[in-house]
Structure 1
Amino acid sequence: MSMTTTKYIFHGVMAGMLLLGVACNKNKTDVRPGNEPDYSNMAKSTVRLITFNKTDLIVNNKRVTNWYVPTAANPVDLPYPTPYFPASGKFSGSWYLPQQFLDSKGQATIQSGLAPNFITDSFQVQEDYYKPSDYYLATSAVAHTGGIYTVSAVPRSTAIPADPRHIRIRLVNIGMASGNGSGTLSLAYANGTPVSAATSGIANHRWSDYIEIPYGTYQFKVLIDGSGLQIPGRPALLTDAATLENFSLGGTQVYYSSLQTFQPGGVYTIVVAQMPGVYQYKEYPLYPNCFAVVTDVDPAVNITYGRLQLVNAFDESEKGLTIQVDGTSLPAVTYGNAGDYTILVAGAHHIKATDAAGKTIIEKDVTLRGGDNLTLWAYPNKDNSIGMTVIPNNMGGIRNTGTNADGGDGANNSYDPLKYKVLVQTRFLNFCPDLPYVTFTNTNGTLFREGIFSAAPAAQQLQPGLAPSPVAVPYPYIDLGVVTGGAVEAYQSLPGVLPGNRLIDVPALTKMDFVKMPAMYFLNGNAGAESGVYTVALIGRNSGSQHPRMIVVKHNQ
Structure 2
Amino acid sequence: MMIRCIQYLLLCLLGAGMVSCTKKVDFSYDNRVNTGADAASGIRIVNLRGATELMVNGQQLTSFLAPDKEDGYNESNTIGTIYFPGTGRMGLTYYIPQRFVNADGMATDIRFANLTLKRRINLTRGVSAKDDFNHPTDYYFTSFAGADSLMAIPRSISSPANPENFKIRLLNLGVNDYAVKGPVSMTWADGAPIAGLENVAPGAYSDYIEIPYGTYQFKVFATAGGQVPGVGGSTLDLDVIDPLTGRIMMDGRRIYPNQVGLTDSKLTFSPFKTFQPGGVYTIVVADCPNFRFPTGNPNGETVTAKYNAFRIINDIEPQNITYARLQAINVLPGKKISVTVDGETVGGALDFAVASEYARYIRGEHTVKVMDDGGAVLIEKSLSLSPADNESMWVYEGKDGKAAISFVANNLSAVYYNGATEDGTYSNLQTEYPSWVRFMNFCPDLPEVTFTQENGQLFSDPFPGQHLLTGVPVIQSPYVKFNTGFYNSILAYASQPAVLPGDWLRNVAVLKGQQFIANPALYKAGLPGSEPGFYTVALVGYMEQARMIIIKHNK
Aligned residue for 2:450?
Answer: 439
Among 231, 253, 268, the alignment partner of 1:255 is 268
More deviation in 115-124 or 41-50?
A: 115-124
Contact 1:361 1:386 in 2 (8 A): yes
Deviation for aligned residue 1:186: 0.9
Aligned: 1:143 with 2:159: no
TM-score by length of 1: 0.84
Q: Contact 1:236 / 1:278 at 8 angstroms: preserved in 2?
A: no
Q: Is residue 254–residue 528 contact of structure 1 (8 Å, CA) maintained in 2? A: no
- Indicate yes or no: 2:433 matched with 1:414: no
Counterpart for residue 313 of structure 1: 331
Distance 1:216 1:486, change over 3 A: farther
**Among residues 279, 286, 298, which one is paired with 2:305 in the alignment?**
286
Q: Which position in structure 2 is the counterpart of 1:269?
A: 282
Residue 361 of structure 1 pairs with residue 378 of structure 2 = yes
CA distance in 2, matches of 1:553, 1:457: 20
How many angstroms does 1:151 deviate by?
2.4
Measured on the aligned residues, the alpha-carbon RMSD in Å equals: 2.2
What CA deviation, in whole Å up to 9, does each residue of 1:375-420 have, x standing for no partner? 000112345421211000001021124476xx7x3552011113xx
Match of 1:505 among 504, 507, 518: 507
Return the alpha-carbon distance in structure 2 between the equivalents of residues 325 and 226 of structure 1.
Answer: 46
Counterparts in 2 of 1:413 and 1:279: CA distance versus 1, 3 Å: same
**Matching residue of 1:20:** none
What 5-or-longer segments of structure 1 have no aligned partner?
A: 1-37, 451-455
Rounded to whole Å, the distance in 1 between the matches of 2:146 and 2:136 is 26
Answer yes or no: is 1:391 the counterpart of 2:408. Answer: yes
Residues 445-456 of structure 1 correspond to what in structure 2 (within 5 A)?
445-450=456-461, 456=462
Alignment partner of 2:343 out of 327, 330, 334:
327
Residues 1:65 and 2:62 are matched in the alignment: yes
Alignment partner of 1:130 is 2:143: no
Secondary structure of 1:124 counterpart: strand
In 2, distance between residues paired with 1:410 and 1:399?
Answer: 13
Q: Which amino acid aligns with 1:390?
A: F
Equivalent position of 1:113 in the other structure: 113
**Would the aligned equivalents of 2:350 and 2:356 in 1 still touch at CA under 8 Å?**
yes
Q: TM-score, normalised by structure 2?
A: 0.84
SS in 1 for 2:99: helix
Partner of 2:298: none
Contact 1:534/1:554, CA 8 A, preserved across alignment: yes
User: What residue number does 1:424 align with?
Assistant: 435
- 1:277 counterpart SS class: strand
Q: Secondary structure at the match of 1:69?
A: coil
Q: Distance in 2 between matches of 1:73 and 1:371?
A: 42
User: In 2, Cα distance between the equivalents of 1:60 and 1:485?
Assistant: 55
Question: Separation in 2 of the partners of 1:340 and 1:384?
Answer: 27
Summarize the Cα distance change of 1:538–1:479 in structure 2 as closer, same or farther, 3 Å threshold.
same
Secondary structure of the residue that 1:139 maps to in structure 2? strand
Q: Is the Cα contact below 8 Å between 1:167 and 1:215 reproduced in 2? A: yes
**Paired residues of 1:351 and 1:366 also in contact (CA < 8 A):** yes
* 1:133-158 Cα deviation digits (max 9, x unpaired): 11111231x324xxxx3222211111
CA 1:435–1:207: 2 relative to 1, 3 Å:
same
State the secondary structure of the residue aligned to 2:181: coil
- Native 8 Å contact 1:113 1:121 kept in 2: no
Name the residue aligned to 2:25. Answer: none
Structure 1 segment 453-468 matched on structure 2, within 5 A: 456-468=462-474
- Matches for 1:103-252 after TM superposition, within 5 Å: 103-109=102-108, 110-115=110-115, 118-140=122-144, 142-144=145-147, 149-196=148-195, 198-225=196-223, 229-237=226-234, 239=238, 241=240, 243-249=242-248, 250=250, 251-252=264-265
Give the alignment partner of residue 492 of structure 1, picking from 494, 504, 508: 494
Could you tell me whether the CA contact under 8 Å between 1:239 and 1:279 is conserved in 2? no
Within 2, Cα distance between the matches of 1:448 and 1:40?
A: 56
1:430–1:464 contact (8 Å) kept in structure 2: yes
Q: 1:80 to 1:458 in 2, by over 3 A?
A: same
CA change 1:463–1:40 in 2 (3 A) is farther
Distance 1:411 1:80, change over 3 A: closer
Alpha carbons 1:353, 1:362 under 8 Å: kept = yes
The residue that corresponds to 1:371 in the other structure is: 388
Deviation of the 1:322 alpha carbon: 0.6
User: In 1, Cα distance between the equivalents of 2:435 and 2:351?
Assistant: 25
Q: CA deviation at 1:55?
A: 2.3
Deviations 1:488-536 (CA, angstroms, capped at 9, x unpaired): 11111122222122111111111222111341x2111112211111100
Alpha-carbon distance in structure 2 between the residues aligned to 1:280 and 1:427: 34
* Paired residue type of 2:486: T
Q: Of the two, which has the highest radius of gyration?
A: 2
- Please list the CA deviations of residues 198-233 of structure 1 after superposition, one character each: whole Å capped at 9, or x if unmatched: 111111111111111111111111122475x21111
Counterpart Cα distance in 1 of 2:363 and 2:238: 40
The 1:242–1:88 alpha-carbon spacing in structure 2 relative to 1, beyond 3 Å, is closer
Higher relative contact order (CA 8 A, sep 6+): 1
Cα distance per residue 1:13-52 (max 9 Å; x no partner): xxxxxxxxxxxxxxxxxxxxxxxxx988611111111113
What is the deviation of 1:236?
4.0
Match for residue 381 of structure 1 among 388, 391, 398? 398
* Maintained 8 Å contact 2:155/2:315: yes
CA distance in 1, matches of 2:449, 2:126: 64
| Unmatched runs of 5 consecutive residues or more in structure 2 | 1-33, 251-263, 295-300
Structure 1 residues 176-215: Cα deviation after superposition (integer angstroms, max 9, x where no partner): 233243221111111112222x111111111111111111
SS of 1:243's equivalent? coil
What is the distance in 2 between the residues matched to 1:278 and 1:493? 46
SS state at 1:246 partner:
coil
Task: Give the secondary structure class of the aligned counterpart of 1:335.
Answer: coil
Q: How many residues align?
A: 491
